Homo-oligomer: A and B are copies of this chain.
Amino acid sequence: MSTARDHAQRDRDAALARLMRFLAIPSVSAVRAHAGDVQGAAEWLAARMAEAGIDGVRVDPTPGHPVVTGRLDAGPERPTVLVYGHYDVQPPEPLEAWNSPPFVPTLLDGAIVARGAADDKGQLMAHVEAAAACMLAGGPPVNLRYVFEGEEEVGSPNLAEWLRDHADELAADVAVISDTAMLSASQPSIVYGLRGLAYFEIEVVGPNHDLHSGAFGGATLNPAGVLCRILSALQDAEGRVLIPGFYDRVRPLGDDERDELARVPFDVGAFRTATGAAGGWGEPGYSLVERLGARPSLDINGLISGWTGEGAKTVLPARALAKVSMRLVPDQDPEDIAERVREAVAGLTPQGASATVRALHGARPAVCDRSHPAMQAAARAYADVFGTLPVFTREGGSIPVVTLLDELLGIPTVLMGFGLPDDGLHGPNEKFAVAQFWRGTETVIAFLEQLASAGVERS
């Protein structure tokens, strides 16, 4: 084991304590009232990076939340790795579903329970702690460029411009992102495919104010009813999306890839436990792994209309709003999908109501090359630390930066995730296993060391 990994092991309790302080900052990027907290998290992170020995640390303002950046230099002959992570988190609501307050990090059954524990503060900090350990061991094995953003959970609206403006200082051979999960604590996996995202608000307006349902019901079109009817027409009961043209650009799965995905030791039991639902639902003709990673999907993320408090209020609501998103696969395009959603909703809206579709957030799907040397270096690093070679799989989530790094900087990405399937991302009681945090830190060190010895073709 390397000296750097040795340092990481000796420092691990202090690293855990630092992560818990980071998690206590409620850096919810979606909610304006938390803007000060997001800024505070950026400053805390920058201070920790500087303390770890990272050079040139800056908190760069953007029109939204800041980007925290820094660098370490090992020498021009060494490969350069861009490390991306995000320090913003999802809103914690519904608060009553949490067993401990989301921003009071709590250790329970070997895991840190807190909003952002796995997504992505804990995984981001594995990289910062790895850098600290490398510095204690005499210096980094490769050149490093750190990019930590504060707007991933709201669709990275300002990242592309920041990346373009700083392309010179970001020249790198490969990027690494730890924001995904392994199949299990004993089975590492590397995600090579991510779904894209097209997220909308659909609002239906009927009367110009809320009405009495007795005085108006039966002779007044109800916007909540119209919304339900529109939503029910966007997707069939088995999950097939009915929006005309939705599947037009979906790249069919090849037989090779289907065979490979069929061999992924996906834990169906754990998946069902995590959902708490009977499971078995989804687009006919595709396996669970294919449905999650290689096929597009549509979900209602939120609904609100009329009276939602206690008891009975006999109101005929003036408006109804849904949050609806689609996960996309290559070669679907969020802007093309937005156009199709707008057309479909317009076609489904009856006279007497008006419907507005607002695109909130889009991300293109991404698939990475499994044969890239950095992918192989990552595989060896996992094997070193976890004792098992990782499998390659696809994941259902979206990390818009993967596409941006490819298109803007020409850098391929290795998705080196340390989460576990039951981490509860975006839901209540999100957690990150302490052992995954510590082993993740060591895996990052091993990856950097593998890259230094194996080399990477300069792009």
Seen from chain A, the residues whose Cβ lies within 8 Å of a Cβ on chain B are: 30-32, 90-91, 93-94, 97, 153-155, 181, 195, 197, 199, 206-222, 224-225, 227-229, 231-232, 235, 237, 239, 271, 274-283, 288, 291-292, 295-318, 320-323, 325, 327, 350-353, 360-361, 395-398, 421, 424-429
| A215: contacting residue among B231, B282, B425, CB under 8 A | B425
A218-B396 contact in complex given A274-B211, A427-B211, C-beta closer than 8 Å: yes
Pick from A221, A301, A316 the residue with the most CB of B within 10 Å: A301
Give Cα distance in the complex from A350 to B298, angstroms: 18
A213 touches B301 (CB 8 A): yes
Q: Using Cβ atoms and an 8 Å threshold, which residues of chain B touch A275?
A: 206-208, 211, 216, 220
What B residues does A296 contact at CB under 8 A? 218
Q: How far is the CA of A278 from the CA of B91 in the complex (A)?
A: 38
**Complex CA–CA separation, A235 to B229 (angstroms):** 10
Chain B residues, Cβ within 8 Å of A195: 214
CB distance from A406 to the nearest CB of B (A): 19
A395 neighbours in B (Cβ, 8 Å): 214-215
Complex interface: chain B residues within 8 A of A317 (CB): 300-302
Q: How far is the CA of A224 from the CA of B283 in the complex (A)?
A: 17
**Quick check: A323 and B313 within 8 Å, CB to CB?**
yes
- Taking CB atoms, residues of chain B closer than 8 Å to A235 are 225
Q: A90–B211 Cα gap in the complex (Å)?
A: 12
> Which single member of B209, B239, B351 contacts A424 (CB below 8 Å)?
B209
In the docked arrangement, what's the CA distance between A30 and B225, Å? 24
Contacts of A154 in B (CB 8 A): 311-312
Contact partner of A213 (CB less than 8 A), chosen from B97, B327, B350, B428, is B327
The reply to whether A225 and B300 contact each other, CB–CB distance below 8 Å, is yes
Least CB distance, A265 to chain B, in whole angstroms: 17
Contact assessment for A306 and B309 in the assembled complex, using a CB-CB cutoff below 8 Å: no
The distance from the CB of A166 to the nearest CB of chain B, in whole angstroms, is: 26
What are 28 pairs between A and B in contact, CB < 8 Å? A30-B311, A31-B309, A97-B210, A199-B312, A207-B276, A207-B277, A208-B277, A209-B276, A209-B424, A212-B426, A214-B395, A215-B292, A215-B395, A215-B425, A217-B297, A217-B298, A218-B296, A218-B297, A219-B281, A219-B291, A220-B275, A277-B353, A302-B305, A302-B308, A302-B315, A304-B305, A314-B426, A318-B427
- Picked from B209, B214, B305, B323, the residue with its CB within 8 Å of the CB of A300 is B305
Are A300 and B306 in touch, CB under 8 angstroms?
yes
A321 to B395, CA, bound (A): 30
Closest chain B residue to A275, Cβ basis = B207
With a cutoff of 8 Å between Cβ atoms, the chain B residues found around residue A292 in the complex are: 215-219
Name A199's closest neighbour in chain B (CB-CB): B312
